[in-house]
Amino acid sequence: MLKTRKTTEADAELIAAHRHAMFAEMGKSEATALDEMRSNFVPWVEQMIGTGKYVGWIVEENERPVASSGFFELEWPPHPLDPAGEHRGYLLNFWVEPEYRGRGLARELVREGLAESRRRGIWVTALHASDAGRRLYEPMGFKATNEMYLIDQTSE
């Protein structure tokens, strides 16, 4: 039977492993960058769970973790879409073990994240969607934004 629970600081290694698996599956990152990210992510998420800025959920079957996701509270300037708000919700680290896909677990985890935004009075919740993810998020009401970024790996 599947049960969902909130993460604690003790889950930091598991969350990092799922984050690593997610990016590895997307196939766009080098193994060394993934390994370095993973080892730096463990203390980061441990700290952020402690402060309450990061909240995660783990779906377990007989205590085996089979899916997880996270919510992170970003500082954000008051914006016309949320003119009294100073935060955005950010959903991340969606992972479902391959043999558990197609059962709606990811959708359930998105709903957990949106409920977390609602509890915090946050009106705008963002995420970065893989191609597979987009097919899940669009029917739930997510829309593509006009975000752009520049990567400058020569920074100190």
CB 73 within 8 Å of CB 122 = yes
87 binds a copy of itself (CB under 8 A): no
Range 94-113, binding a copy of itself (CB under 8 A): none
Residue 25 corresponds to which tokens in the numbers above? 């599956």
CB 87 within 8 Å of CB 75 = yes
C-alpha distances in angstroms, 117 versus 55, 79, 143?
11, 16, 17
Q: Which amino acid is at 71?
A: F
Shortest approach of a copy of itself to residue 105 CB, angstroms? 19
Closer residue to a copy of itself, CB minimum distance, 61 or 138: 138
14 binds a copy of itself (CB under 8 A): no
52 binds a copy of itself (CB under 8 A): no
Shortest approach of a copy of itself to residue 79 CB, angstroms? 6
- Please report where in the chains the tokens 């998020």 appear, as a residue: 137
Residue 4 corresponds to which tokens in the numbers above? 């969902």
Identify which of 10, 15, 128 has the alpha carbon closest to the alpha carbon of residue 69: 15
Q: Which residues bind a copy of itself (CB under 8 A)?
A: 19, 23, 28-30, 33-34, 36-37, 40-41, 44-45, 48, 53, 72, 74-75, 77-84, 86, 88, 92, 114, 117-130, 134, 137-138, 140-156
